[in-house]
Amino acid sequence: MERPYHNSTAAHHVDPQHARIIGGIGEATGSLGCCGWILTILSILVVMLTMPFSVFFCLKVVQEFERAVIFRLGRLLSGGAKGPGIFFVLPCIESYTKVDLRTVSFDVPPQEILTKDSVTVSVDAVVYYRVSNPTVSVANVENAHHATRLLAQTTLRNILGTKNMSEILTERETISNAMQAVLDGATDRWGIKVERVEIKDVRLPIQLQRAMAAEAEAAREARAKVLAAEGEYRAAGALKEAAEIISQSPAALQLRYLQTLNSISAEKNSTIIFPLPIDLIDSFMRRK
């Protein structure tokens, strides 16, 4: 009917008050007092006298991913959280709260953050967490999910406020790990386990985006000019070596002329070209 709940990730490093809440669960039934025992016996008698109709009101079922935290006369019932499966609830004196153990994901609303270098950015994130100890999540905090979400917003602002804009843009994984460690340590006493934190988006002001785009464009143009200058330098060296090779054989220059004529005639057949050797012009210049 009922499978005992063992949680290897139960809350640890708790203070004495929380240890009393967790450790005193086994003693809750024994400390009901005289009136408590009388009411318990009366409730059992009512269930027995109204059988089998009382079964429909006393038997409860929780799913595989749920646990039930039962209170008897305001005290935690011994045995911890119940489930999954069927469990028994006494009428009038016992109440229970269902706790979902599945991983919950929520979007942290965009936070306007002033970075360390005085730049205003808007950052939002995604937090994944789950309930690791149902009893603690019910007994130690009013609303564990709401408290975790508020703490995630505050933690995001506090951590990013100590970072420069360049660090926020380039070190997202480091910031996510730091935020997860802070959240996990703070929510441990609430029975919450933070599994993962991811920085979702970083939005910059429009003026800053334009300035960064202009800076990146100028840097690319500078690199393009440097690359073009290096190409010209290498091309000049290659032409110098080619000229030295051609000067050693005058026939090579004539062959180069013929190759040029062949390539031009293939594209523009109506063009007439008369090659004029440079050596002929040099001879006339020397006579003058």
Total count of domains within the chain: 3
The pair of three-digit structure tokens given for residue 231, joined into one six-digit string: 């190409």
Q: Is 134 exposed, middle or buried (0-12, 13-18, 19+ CB in 10 A)?
A: buried
- 190 is a domain residue: yes
- 222 is a domain residue: yes
| pLDDT score at 288 | 59
**Same-domain pairing of 187 and 153:** yes
**Same-domain pairing of 81 and 127:** no
Q: Could you report the per-residue pLDDT of 176-209, keeping only the tens digit for each?
A: 999 999 999 999 999 999 999 998 888 887 877 7
Cα–chain center distance at 45: 55
Q: Could you report the per-residue pLDDT of 17-62, keeping only the tens digit for each?
A: 444 444 434 334 446 678 878 888 888 888 888 888 877 888 888 8
Residue numbers of the domain that contains 86: 35-100
CATH (domain of 173): 3.30.479.30
Q: Read off the pTM.
A: 0.62
Taking the C-alpha atoms of residue 155 and residue 185, their distance in angstroms, rounded to an integer, is 12
Taking the C-alpha atoms of residue 97 and residue 201, their distance in angstroms, rounded to an integer, is 37
**Same-domain pairing of 234 and 247:** yes
**Same-domain pairing of 195 and 168:** yes
Contact 92, 43 (CB under 8 A): yes
Name residue 277's amino acid. Answer: P
Would you say how long the chain is, in residues? 288
